[in-house]
Structure 1
Amino acid sequence: MGGNNYIEGVSVPSVSGFFEKYGLALVMVASYFGSGSVFIASSAGVRYGYTLLWAVVGAVLLGFLAQDMSARLGIHGESLATFAREKLGSTLATAIMVVLSVGCVAWTLELTAAVGKGIVVLLGLQGVGWQPFAYLTGLAAIVVGVLGYDMVERIMVAMMFVLLAAYLVVAGASSPDLAAAATGFVPSLGPTGSMALAVSILGTTALWPNFFLESELVDRKGWTTRADVPTMRRDLGIGYAVGGITTVAIVVVAAAVLRPAGYEQLQTFITPGRALAEILGDWAMVVFLAGTLAAAFNSIVPIMWAPAYMISNALGGAFAGNDRVFKVIYVGGVALGSLSPLVHRYLGLSVIDMILLFPAYNGVVGLPVTAILLFWAVNDGDVMGEHTNGWKLNVLNSALILLAVYSAWSAGQTVIEAILSGGL
């Protein structure tokens, strides 16, 4: 079967043809585009209007460059976890991967809680509580995650395009000030406090599990030589364009509708949906919240794929590439991530606490370690050969490391204390 259809002599790529070449970047984008990203983007629009749209563009570029380095590592060398094992030894590499995987479980905890809470609000089931739906969300993620890469890729791609369409519809209905929005793409320091939110936008887009996943999954797309790099970069361009435009649409909705209505800050990730219902009608709330739920669920599978690849490759030997080991780690990780109701009960963390604190924990712990490891890998001549980073890419990679270290230094103690003391 060919990958193209022909209409009056013109070759038109078919759906199967698209997936033969592209789709991996949209899986990466789906992993970072969760409830936390929607909340942060909405908060940016509510608090600062259009002024932080430039940060969305910067985040897209940073994410593209980080994933490009990860992909080139996989194409010219090996996966990032395998690199860690070869340089650090299996025992130390495995210990690091297990510590990092705790962050992935934490992410899954907030995502299952977010989906559960969103379902309750969307269906008007407040009397039931969100906890049973959190467990069911984890079960659904287990089923989807073991379907195999090709099927999951198709699901993730379809859902990302649906999200793009949904948020664009709401953004269009909000009648934004296009001239004011255009000025927001010009970088500026903005009001006091806006830079912290700009860093949050950058941090949520440079998702560290993706550094491991991209280097691992390029082989699934058949990208194994230098000739495949242009295709890989086109794929990244498609994926991050979809993610970036979707994020811009969310900021625009918040700036055009919620801010003029008097909202100064958001209490929960559900607040934008409820506010939109008051101003644009119930349909806007349904579309916005359904999109948020889809985004949160979308994130679970690729985020929890990461530990399954990381740990098995760090162990090496018969564990690396073993499908049974991969599934056991994945199912176990998602099962732990489904226990968000227990975290709520025994640690006293609300759903919004989890949405804010667990991604922050990953920024404090996971991002610095992974960014340094990736920098080391793409500059290792034994692994990359003649394809090591040039000085321009090293400058950009250094910026990612500085961002990660700054985030860890500035927020580390606060984040850990908040998690252990019952929330914000």
Structure 2
Amino acid sequence: MSTKNFTPFQDVTEFTQKYGLAFVMVASYFGSGSVFIASQAGVMHGYTLLWAAAGAAVLGFIAQDMSARLGIHGTSLMVFTREKLGRPLATTIALFLSIGCIAWTLGLVAAVGAGLSFLLGGAVAWQPIAVLTTFAAIGVGLLRYDTVENMMIAMMLSLMVIFVIVALPSGADPSSVTTGFVPGTDTLGALAMAAGLLGTTALWPNFFLESILVHTKGWTDESDLPEVRTDLAIGYTVGGITTVAILIAAAALLRPMGYTELESFITPGEALVEVLGTWAMVLFVGGVIAAAFNSIIPIMWTPAYIIPQAAGCSVQKGDRLFNVLFAGLTGIGVFSPLVSWWLDLSVVDMVILFPMYNGIFALPVAAILLFWAVNDRKTMGEYVNSRALNGVNALLVLLAVSLAILSIQDFAKLITGGGF
């Protein structure tokens, strides 16, 4: 009787064939903005918000689970929107949401440019690097889905390792770290930052993408849900550990050095040199660059899917229409330096304000649509949301709407007043 021997390569191949979609979702939300917010949380509030970092990963998991169930039992979120609201209104919503994706890309290519310029000692300005980054993102995004997914798995696992390596020698107090995973009285003074951690993880493009891409993984039936949830658990655990590691490093190293706020997402890298040496700075900033670049591809896949779907066209990745839309809309990223100059915004301003735009204007729309879809019995049949899931979904909608109402005035002042 012969036995089948699996090499490590075969094991990895089997894993990536079975799982991996969640890594695309996590790569989408884990950009330079997430690194900055996690670092800022650690600097401003120490270990107080570790519970929010862990809770954000759980919320992201639950939101994606609802999106996956919609795709398996019903249809994709934008097709649902078109069926309920009609083509004209659905197309208007898709175009409106796509503006947010383009804004994200403008900030992300600038972040990659700033990070690489920093590592090069300023020998090359961020502007030309941002332009080149745009073309690189187009090239990667047009690759086969399986290829991109495998890249995202490798990149997210690498990011987790990078930031854990930076956090381990930080000298963090274990008892303080443990306490940080439980909300306490200190939390009351840090609710805005907690909302930021939650908001940056529940990324609205993922609500659309998961409902579309479940079929790419062959998940089409109720029996596939355990596999979907295992995928999401693995992906969001990696994302959660990475966020927690960044927060701990900032709390343990930067806060004792007197930092009360960060000038940019690169500031932690500069500060780490004083404590851990140049290697930590290179790892940290390199991680920021990889995280920012990762985010561009799935974020810009979203409009390439939802605009045709809203107009009543069936589209698959690799179709000519998909490729033209993805390349054309992502290509607007080359204007990042011009937008920076025209609005008098620094790279840091764009990295913070453009995701803020999405949180204020796009997230409430997407969250409400998802809530509607997973509660629509005609679409979901017997698989509509349970009361418990509706509680979580209602929390997501409430968070999105509340953040929008509280932030819109400050956002308007910042975007028209030259940033921070």
Q: Is the 8 A contact 2:31 2:293 kept in 1?
A: yes
Matched, 1:63 2:90: no
Matched, 1:163 2:162: no
Task: Report the equivalent of 1:220.
Answer: 216
Query: What is the Cα deviation at residue 13 of structure 1?
Result: 6.6
Q: Is the 8 A contact 1:5 1:12 kept in 2?
A: no
Structure 2 counterparts to residues 184-223 of structure 1, below 5 A: 184-190=180-186, 193-223=189-219
Query: What is the Cα deviation at residue 413 of structure 1?
Result: 2.2
Superposed CA offset, 1:82-139 (max 9, x none)? 1111111111101100000000001111100000000010111x25311000001111
Structure 2 length-normalised TM: 0.97
Instruction: Select 1:173's aligned residue among 163, 169, 173.
Output: 169
Structure 2 counterparts to residues 254-403 of structure 1, below 5 A: 254-317=250-313, 323-403=319-399
Matched, 1:83 2:80: yes
- The amino acid across from 1:6 in the alignment is N
The separation in 1 between residues aligned to 2:363 and 2:49, in whole angstroms, is: 23
Q: Is the 8 A contact 1:110 1:351 kept in 2?
A: yes
Pair 275,322 (structure 1): closer, same or farther in 2 beyond 3 Å: closer
Task: Report the equivalent of 2:227.
Answer: 231
Matched, 1:22 2:19: yes
Task: Report the equivalent of 2:409.
Answer: 413
Matched, 1:44 2:41: yes
Pair 22,321 (structure 1): closer, same or farther in 2 beyond 3 Å: closer
Query: What is the Cα deviation at residue 417 of structure 1?
Result: 2.9
Query: What is the Cα deviation at residue 415 of structure 1?
Result: 0.9
Q: Is the 8 A contact 1:5 1:11 kept in 2?
A: no
Task: Report the equivalent of 1:154.
Answer: 150
The separation in 2 between residues aligned to 1:334 and 1:115, in whole angstroms, is: 15
Q: Is the 8 A contact 2:43 2:254 kept in 1?
A: yes
Query: What is the Cα deviation at residue 381 of structure 1?
Result: 1.0
Query: What is the Cα deviation at residue 411 of structure 1?
Result: 0.3
CA RMSD in angstroms, aligned pairs only: 1.7
Query: What is the Cα deviation at residue 11 of structure 1?
Result: 11
Q: Is the 8 A contact 1:6 1:12 kept in 2?
A: no
Structure 1 length-normalised TM: 0.96
Superposed CA offset, 1:256-279 (max 9, x none)? 111111111111111000000111
Query: What is the Cα deviation at residue 188 of structure 1?
Result: 2.2
Unaligned runs of 5+ in 1: none
Moved more, 226-235 or 15-24: 15-24
The separation in 2 between residues aligned to 1:318 and 1:26, in whole angstroms, is: 25
Flag as ranges the 4+ runs of structure 1 deviating above 4 A: 10-13, 318-322
Pair 5,134 (structure 1): closer, same or farther in 2 beyond 3 Å: farther
The separation in 1 between residues aligned to 2:316 and 2:250, in whole angstroms, is: 45
Superposed CA offset, 1:370-403 (max 9, x none)? 0000011001111111100011111110000000
Task: Report the equivalent of 2:238.
Answer: 242
- The amino acid across from 1:251 in the alignment is L
Count of aligned pairs between the two proteins? 418
> Percent identity over the alignment?
58
Structure 2 counterparts to residues 102-113 of structure 1, below 5 A: 102-113=99-110
Query: What is the Cα deviation at residue 304 of structure 1?
Result: 0.3
- The amino acid across from 1:401 in the alignment is V
Q: Is the 8 A contact 1:189 1:195 kept in 2?
A: no
Query: What is the Cα deviation at residue 295 of structure 1?
Result: 0.3
The separation in 1 between residues aligned to 2:144 and 2:76, in whole angstroms, is: 19
Q: Is the 8 A contact 1:312 1:320 kept in 2?
A: no
